[in-house]
Structure 1
Amino acid sequence: MPDTAVVPPRPIAGSRVSGSRPGGGNLPLLRDPDHYEEINVIGTGAYGTVYKARDTVNDTIVAIKKVKLGLTEDGVPMQVLREISLLKQLGKANHPNIVRLLDICHGQRLDREMVLYLVFEHVDQDLNTYIEKCPSPGLGPDRVKDIIWQILNGVDFLHSNRIVHRDLKPQNILVSRDCSVKLADFGLARIYDFSSLLTTVVVTLWYRSPEVLLGNSYATPVDLWSCGCIFAELFLRKPLFPGQYEIDQLNQIFQILGTPSVEEWPSNSSIGREAFASRPIRPMSNIIPEMDQHALDLLQKLLVFNSDDRISAGKALLHPYFAEFGFHPTSHSPDLTSESSHSGGSMSEGGASSDANTSLSPVTTSTSFSSHETSGESFGDLSGVMESNH
């Protein structure tokens, strides 16, 4: 995201806490953020404000996301602590297509909310800015292939570790100077589901899957729909489905993919099939003539109305479009069957399994930590937080 404000460097103020008492929610093992100097605001999104900052200990530039968490009578909700600890574990894997979580610091605490600082590696710009800055006629086909390949690798890693991103879009996909692509903001949607302190920033619908728009249960396929939308945008240099509200977003989709039949329409949807006019399928080759046949085939497998029929990240990486990349899955994830309801606002770790795994063993799901996994070694700096919230 482009820098939007510049301020003189200054320490990021925390609130020192010490000691621990059961149920008090004290944070004895989280560091104070005063060794980070804020440089400027990078941007503000649904999950908080992001700052560019300098780590004065090792003189490196980082990105800090300042997030507000809702507190219970016992302090920080256990579910939130588990989600954050899971993000820390994933950061240790150092996946090339995932933004690393480097540190977690505590900030100001009030009666019913507190501030956490999530410290990430700093990456130069987001994919939205990268596309906008690209001179005419746009990205070349090889560069598009490399970008979507890296995105799918990141998504496959998340899914193999039972994380559904839920908000993939160019604004939270980062591009470094060496053209590495990294996914950001994964896991934060679930954290905010628990704390219910989302900001008033309007969240775009352009990359949202039909099952989410219709209020149905959803899982990992939502991210593959978003990948399809982003894939098309890399060629078009504009959104494929630029809807303004839920019904309009669905209409935008049906204008291209055609309106699903009555038989295809989910029976438990919050919006009935009769709300939409019947529209025929428009050939994607007419909309994006620059795509070759393999690219078109992959796009059509990503943008499938029925989520059960949508291609997975693992299978997408094995698609002929990526033949020269020589991808070989090392193992298969177990089937994940839990789902969540969009209307309920609670996210499960489950969903369709990823067909291709990475070399990292899947991290335990957030709601099924065994007793030995709640040790200080597993949760790192958050162990004291969790102990104070039992």
Structure 2
Amino acid sequence: MESSVTPYEPVAEIGGGAYGTVYKARDSRSGKFVALKNVRVQRDEDGVSPSTVREVALLKRLEHFDHPNIVRLFDVCATVRADRETKVTLVFEHVDQDLKTYLEKAPSPGLPAETVKDLMNQLLKGLAFLHSHSVVHRDLKPENILVTSRGQVKLADFGLARIYSCQMALTPVVVTLWYRAPEVLLQATYATPVDLWSTGCIFAEMFRRRPLFCGKSEADQLGKIFDMTGLPAEEDWPEDVTLPRSAFTNRPPQSVKSYIPEIDDLGAELLLELLAFSPYKRISAFNALQHPYFQGQSPEV
């Protein structure tokens, strides 16, 4: 990552978030549009922090596989600034809309069941690929799932959580809790299953066209989850977390259909496997692709 004058000319601002502003830009060499994300990274005496270099190297390595359900990372440019800070610009392929916009634009009564199945199949293929390379997305939500004009799903913003964590302190933006797994809300240890929880929330949202659990705080979010799934068993509650199970009232699980009337029985079954409270009991992306819900869809990853 050497300092360079970039050949990318910003055309428009296309989104701001917890991780800074995203720009649509034109590559002056090819004339094609790209998406630029700028990240400020603190440097140590030797330059950019080793963790950032490692994260970016991993993202670049994933490029070689050219997976159809992963957004392409074309380039990484670093500009050294004052105050032991480096501006890292990540250059991604540009896709016009995200899943949030796609769902908002869907005419009533919403997406056909087969479209939901196809989008889910692609989303899980992208996740299975990331997880097979030990990349946890950590922040999966409709805003960072891109959908091309041909209906191709591409995951964006994966693997950036650690690069961004040092920048998070600099921005007062509130990150949504709505897609967060219980183990993250409880501040327990977590791994790839967090992405499957988020996928379950997104699956439900594809039918409902509005989020499944809209909590205002960690405890409120957990309460809304338990309203649907019931209070988890004592043995599934993680140890050494600040919020005890006793902080929540006992309640029975509700039927999936009462929340998502449009979902079929196999879809409801898959949803419950994605929304298993215990990460150890939650279905993996690879196994989700083999689920009977997808019969008739090609299961290759």
- The separation in 2 between residues aligned to 1:231 and 1:30, in whole angstroms, is 42
**3-state SS of the aligned residue for 1:211?**
helix
| 1:53 partner letter | A
- The separation in 2 between residues aligned to 1:55 and 1:70, in whole angstroms, is 27
C-alpha deviation, 1:257, in angstroms? 0.4
Which 5+ residue runs of structure 1 have no aligned equivalent? 1-26, 329-357, 359-390
C-alpha deviation, 1:194, in angstroms? 5.5
CA contact (8 A) 1:108 1:115 kept: yes
- Structure with larger RCO (C-alpha < 8 A, sep 6+): 1
CA deviation map 1:39-67 (0-9, x unaligned): 01001112221000000111100000111
- Aligned positions of 1:7-18 closer than 5 A: none
- The separation in 1 between residues aligned to 2:198 and 2:227, in whole angstroms, is 17
Change (3 A) 1:68 1:185: same
2:234 to 262, 266, 270: 262
Which residue is equivalent to 1:67? 39
1:120 to 84, 92, 100: 92
- The separation in 1 between residues aligned to 2:138 and 2:43, in whole angstroms, is 24
C-alpha deviation, 1:262, in angstroms? 2.8
Which residue is equivalent to 1:229? 201
Q: Which runs of 4+ in 1 moved over 6 A?
A: none
- The separation in 2 between residues aligned to 1:198 and 1:235, in whole angstroms, is 36
- The separation in 1 between residues aligned to 2:100 and 2:168, in whole angstroms, is 27
- The separation in 1 between residues aligned to 2:130 and 2:39, in whole angstroms, is 22
C-alpha deviation, 1:75, in angstroms? 1.6
**3-state SS of the aligned residue for 2:92?**
strand
Which residue is equivalent to 1:369? none
CA deviation map 1:185-216 (0-9, x unaligned): 00110212356655222110000000010110
- Aligned positions of 1:93-108 closer than 5 A: 93-108=65-80
Change (3 A) 1:188 1:56: same
- The separation in 2 between residues aligned to 1:193 and 1:298, in whole angstroms, is 32
| 1:48 partner letter | G
- The separation in 1 between residues aligned to 2:297 and 2:254, in whole angstroms, is 31
| 2:71 partner letter | V
Which residue is equivalent to 2:252? 280
Q: Does 1:142 align with 2:105?
A: no
Which residue is equivalent to 2:157? 185
| 2:108 partner letter | S
1:152 to 117, 124, 128: 124
CA contact (8 A) 2:19 2:168 kept: no
CA contact (8 A) 2:204 2:260 kept: yes
Q: Does 1:31 align with 2:4?
A: yes
Which residue is equivalent to 1:91? 63
Which 5+ residue runs of structure 2 have no aligned equivalent? none
Q: Size of the alignment, in residue pairs?
A: 301
CA deviation map 1:258-314 (0-9, x unaligned): 111333322222211121111111011221121111111110100000110000000
Which residue is equivalent to 1:167? 139
Which residue is equivalent to 1:220? 192
| 1:230 partner letter | I
- The separation in 2 between residues aligned to 1:205 and 1:217, in whole angstroms, is 17
> TM-score if structure 1 supplies the norm length?
0.75
| 1:305 partner letter | F
- The separation in 1 between residues aligned to 2:26 and 2:215, in whole angstroms, is 38
Which residue is equivalent to 1:295? 267
C-alpha deviation, 1:95, in angstroms? 0.6
- The separation in 2 between residues aligned to 1:30 and 1:108, in whole angstroms, is 6
